[in-house]
Structure 1
Amino acid sequence: MSSTVIVRYGELALKSEPVRRRFERTLIESIENALGDIRHSIRTERGRIFIDTSSAARTTKILSRIPGITSLSPAVRTNASLDAIKIQAAKIAKKVLSPGMTFAIRTSRAGEHAFSSREVNVEVGSLVLSLIKGTKVDLSHPDVEISIEVRGNDAYVFSSTIRGVGGLPVGTQGKVLAILSGSMNDAAAFLMLKRGCKVTPLFFDTTNRLSHPATKRVILQAKRLSLFGADDHLWVFPFRKILGLIQEKTDEKTSFFIRRRCELRAAEIVARKTAAEAIVTGDDAELIEGIMLTNLNAIDGVCKLAVLRPLSCMEEDEIKEICEKIGLKHANRALPHQAKIDVAINIEELLKLEKILNVEKIIDDASKKTKRIKVG
């Protein structure tokens, strides 16, 4: 039997009509791409997208990861008549209710009908009470809610609502390059997806081995992010030689800044190749505090593109919560090589050291060995 999955979106509905239509088209494209070979058809009404499919459970699971969707409900579609609604509601009630349980009927309507929402609640509630003995109505804290949406000539009956990612559809807010570390700070890339950005992942490989545990961990992170709409290819930039040179020729504090500046130089090269408009890092509140805010300019000044830090106001527990919700591995936080910085860095000294190290040429040479591997 074919079911209908009701897709709801939030922020899109607040946009102007032309913007809303454009965002809705982008969201539908994301849905089509995500569903792949699942047989389905899509219908739209203001504030809702309806997907008719014989694979409702699989469809719901996939779409719960799509940014721009606030919630989903697998539903049964029927005629917008009281008798038809009662038949479908009774079938669902028999599946989800048993004696001793409490329930509530919730009805919403759009359009003109011969009955009110309250009449539907009363009629369906009375039917359920007569069919399943021992059940009670509880409008405050029911064990089960049976919901009915009546829209025009159609009615949809369902008993579950699955929370979505929310935010904006991927592709409505430009393209960014996100630096992954294989740690919980990779949640930064997810937050950019949630804000509607196309995300291309980048990893600085210090092992020169794709089979190394650290590299494999990043590949798994990139694969997980691809389920939410990130690019299913990971850019791998060879960084072992660069890091070795930095550590050999500089002290701990200086090496931290030169490494970060080199990473941004390298990221900008990849960003140009991928047409990304900004670079995303996983720097969180604690890390930025350790760097000192005034020193961020010394790092970012090497890059012409905007450097975005979506975790900059987040504590460790908040980041872990995001990771747990979306299934990212939250290993130790990123950048264990960071030193505690308690003074403003001298940018002139950094520039002199970089010139001595000839970092621009080394990064340029390394960029020619950059790999792009499929993770999805």
Structure 2
Amino acid sequence: MTGNPRVPAPRTAAAPHGSCVLLKHGEAFLKGRNRHLFTDRLQDNLRLALRGIGGSTWIKTAQNVTVLGGEVPQEALLERARRVIGFNSVEPALRVASDLETITAAAVDALSDARPGLRFAVRTKRRDKQFPLTSSQIDAHIGARLLAGIQGLRVDLAKPDVTLAVEIDRKETYLSWRRFRGLSGLPVGSSGRALVLLSGGYDSPVAAHRAMRRGLACDFVHFNGAPYTNPSSVYKAYALARELNRYQPPGALHVIALGKAQKQLAVAGAGRLQVVAQRRLMARTASELAARTGAEALVTGDSLGQVASQTLANLVAVDEAAALPVLRPLIGWEKQEIIDEAHTIGTAEISILPDEDCCGLLAPPRVSTRAGLPQLRSVEKRLDLEDVVEALLDSAQVLRPGVDEEAPAAGDRCPAPA
């Protein structure tokens, strides 16, 4: 949701305390006795998001709302706050003293540039129940002054062009009239840690973002086809992880060269089982990596039936090789829904870039849609899987997108793998 273009931008000159941003809490509001754990995590994530903003900032908490301000432009605060998962709405606001005349004067000033014929409503919420007027009385008082002071305004309580929200606390009152939809969900980190199998396509980055919105802090593992493919997929994975890290305290990216192990599977006679067999190897390797990094689940971008390797039988075969739960946030999504979401979160422009994906390396002309476990195990017995997994992990590189360097623009290359 974007701000209404017919509504004037915030004006701070008449506000004794200046501008701020109201962040309305999402699901943390429902957590009962544990609510403080979620709100603390939410504010920790907000502080991390504000790092390097270029000026001092402050955060305070009211009832089910966080107030953000500082000596930086309000739009900069908005841009950072809108990427923090766990807020239902993000609202630029004015902060004034909790005095009726001060509030009313600020309201008139806020809408003074409104176009003729603008339909408005005033909605007051009193957190301070000792305020001398009721909410409806305050609505009527401010509405009357707006009609008297600004020519051409019209009251419309059913379908207003703009709703002026007035939230009265004991010492301060907040006025807002623009609202942006937040990312909602649970604060990142409140549900534990997961390891995302990150490819260069549309699906896995969207799955990672969905996992974050359920409170999972995410690290990433990318399997590339080296030494038989070029490093283009690594560059994409780095750029994708860097973009995703803008929504969470930055997670690490582990890069694992799978090419030699893929060739071992092919030599062992995988045939039509090649793709499923290598996905099982990825699941085994990722499970061991997760155990070493403290992750409690794996996350993939699988969508049921989207491709031959994602039939129910093949997903079951992959799960059997994993030592941890495999979470699939997109299991029921259609491809276009995934692409649309990728555009929304900012990963689509990276995912569309060309690369050499390891999944196509040594893939048979026809992939088995019902890979049987006995046949897969027979192929795997021809390899020493423990040694293969150990070798893959020993050669893994660890990158920290968003921490290693100043983040370049989407599509720029990451530091070349050693």
Fold conserved (TM > 0.5)? yes
Indicate which of 131, 134, 138 corresponds to 2:152.
134
Q: CA deviation digits over 1:213-244, x for unaligned, max 9?
A: 32222211111110110534311111121223
Q: Within 2, Cα distance between the matches of 1:185 and 1:342?
A: 20
Contact 2:270 2:277 in 1 (8 A): no
Is the alpha carbon distance of 1:176 and 1:358 closer, same or farther for their aligned partners in structure 2, counting shifts above 3 Å? same
| 1:119 aligned partner | 137
- Secondary structure (helix, strand or coil) at the match of 2:332 reads coil
Indicate which of 328, 335, 339 corresponds to 1:316.
335
**CA shift for structure 1 position 348:** 2.3
Indicate which of 40, 51, 58 corresponds to 1:41.
58
Q: Within 1, Cα distance between the matches of 2:199 and 2:249?
A: 16
Is the alpha carbon distance of 1:250 and 1:231 closer, same or farther for their aligned partners in structure 2, counting shifts above 3 Å? farther
Is the alpha carbon distance of 1:353 and 1:136 closer, same or farther for their aligned partners in structure 2, counting shifts above 3 Å? same
Q: Within 1, Cα distance between the matches of 2:145 and 2:391?
A: 75
Is the alpha carbon distance of 1:242 and 1:211 closer, same or farther for their aligned partners in structure 2, counting shifts above 3 Å? closer
Which amino acid in 1 is paired with 2:44?
Answer: E
| 2:283 aligned partner | 264
Contact 2:83 2:183 in 1 (8 A): yes
| 2:194 aligned partner | 176
Q: Within 2, Cα distance between the matches of 1:35 and 1:150?
A: 26
**How many residues are matched?**
373
| 2:69 aligned partner | 52
**CA shift for structure 1 position 71:** 0.9
Q: Which has the higher helix share?
A: 1
Which amino acid in 1 is paired with 2:372?
Answer: N
- Secondary structure (helix, strand or coil) at the match of 1:133 reads coil
User: Is the deviation greater in 276-285 or in 354-363?
Assistant: 354-363
Q: Within 1, Cα distance between the matches of 2:230 and 2:122?
A: 54
TM-score, normalised relative to structure 1: 0.91
| 1:370 aligned partner | 396
Indicate which of 19, 28, 41 corresponds to 1:12.
28
| 2:8 aligned partner | none
Which amino acid in 1 is paired with 2:137?
Answer: E
Which amino acid in 2 is paired with 1:72?
Answer: V
Is the alpha carbon distance of 1:232 and 1:173 closer, same or farther for their aligned partners in structure 2, counting shifts above 3 Å? closer
| 2:220 aligned partner | 201
User: Is the deviation greater in 45-54 or in 171-180?
Assistant: 45-54
Indicate which of 78, 96, 119 corresponds to 1:78.
96
Contact 2:24 2:66 in 1 (8 A): yes
Unaligned runs of 5+ in 2: 1-11, 13-17, 403-418
Q: CA deviation digits over 1:24-52, x for unaligned, max 9?
A: 11111111111114412222122111123
| 1:103 aligned partner | 120
**CA shift for structure 1 position 358:** 3.4
Which amino acid in 1 is paired with 2:382?
Answer: I
**CA shift for structure 1 position 155:** 1.1
Q: Within 2, Cα distance between the matches of 1:279 and 1:123?
A: 56
Superposed, 1:60-71 pairs within 5 Å as: 60-71=78-89
Is the alpha carbon distance of 1:54 and 1:74 closer, same or farther for their aligned partners in structure 2, counting shifts above 3 Å? farther
Does 2:200 align with 1:185? no
Is the alpha carbon distance of 1:210 and 1:342 closer, same or farther for their aligned partners in structure 2, counting shifts above 3 Å? closer
Which amino acid in 2 is paired with 1:124?
Answer: I
Superposed, 1:221-240 pairs within 5 Å as: 221-229=240-248, 231-240=250-259
